[in-house]
Structure 1
Amino acid sequence: MTELKELQSKEELKQAWERSMEKPVLFFKHSTTCPISAGAFKEYQAFFESAGDNVGIYVIKVLESRSISNQITEETGVKHESPQIFLIRNKEVLWHTSHSHITKDTINEALQQRV
């Protein structure tokens, strides 16, 4: 089973981008003070619990690691939202969504349709 890794440094983010060359990765931007983000994080965790080793799973706490969150915004060109999720493969954003659109089912669909 894969592990849920919190990205806290630019080096860890760089490694996650590199990992996307081997297999798809998910970046979840999470606000630890927002109830909507808490609900989306529960969905992300539900996905994580059923995911195999075929996807890398990461979380970025946007308040605690703002520079990492900002770097993702810069590197993807996608306007920051929180909560927000990205599906990355070969260093490219294949899919992203935010808020109540983040569910276990939408994540599974994105992986099935785009990877």
Structure 2
Amino acid sequence: MRKIDSIEEFNQLAASDDLFFLVKHSLTCPISHAAFEEYNKFTGSTDVPCYYLAVQDSRPLSNHIAEKFMIRHESPQAILFSSSTPVWHASHWKITHQSLEEALTQNR
């Protein structure tokens, strides 16, 4: 799992990886902390690249993703991208190891 901080990093990632997960994570929210723990467990069991951004550190990037892909910003929020396009997303308590696995299975 790798942290990304800038729009430029995200654009390079979107251009180079076919299938990847991205999580928007709040550093101060307990719900986000729980979702991030689920995401972290998931990243250890998948071969799909997994990234995250900390909303407090990367507000411009978080807003860019929301605007570009017309996905209302939420935190925490997990997004699965395929060919630079979001194919699945979930937020808050819906981010679980199982939901991430299911999203991947349905979109491979």
TM-score by length of 1: 0.90
1:7 counterpart letter in structure 2: I
Counterpart CA distance in 1 for 2:25 and 2:79 is 12
* Mapped partners of 1:97, 1:45: distance in 2: 15
Once residues 75 and 17 of structure 1 are traced to their aligned partners in structure 2, the CA distance between those partners, rounded to angstroms, is: 12
Deviation of residue 64 (structure 1)? 0.9
2:24 to 13, 24, 29: 29
Q: CA deviation at 1:19?
A: 2.5
Let me know the Cα RMSD of the aligned residues. Answer: 0.9
Q: Counterpart of 1:110 in structure 2: which amino acid?
A: A
The answer to whether the 8 Å contact 1:19/1:25 transfers is no
Give the whole-Å Cα distance in 2 for the aligned partners of 1:19 and 1:40.
26
How is 1:13-92 mapped onto 2 (pairs within 5 angstroms)? Answer: 13-20=10-17, 23-52=18-47, 55-92=48-85
TM-score when scaled to structure 2? 0.96
**SS class of match (1:50):** coil
Structure 1 position 105 matched with structure 2 position 105: no
Write the letter of the residue equivalent to 1:28.
V
Q: Percent identity?
A: 40
Unaligned residue ranges in structure 1 (runs of 5+)? none
The residue type equivalent to 2:84 in the other structure is: K
- Say which of 9, 12, 16 aligns to 1:12: 9
For structure 2, list consecutive stretches of 5 or more residues without a partner in the other structure: none
Q: How far is 1:10 from its partner?
A: 1.6
Aligned residues: 108
Give the letter aligned to residue 62 of structure 1.
Answer: V
- Structure 1 residue ranges (4+ consecutive) displaced by more than 3 angstroms after TM superposition: none
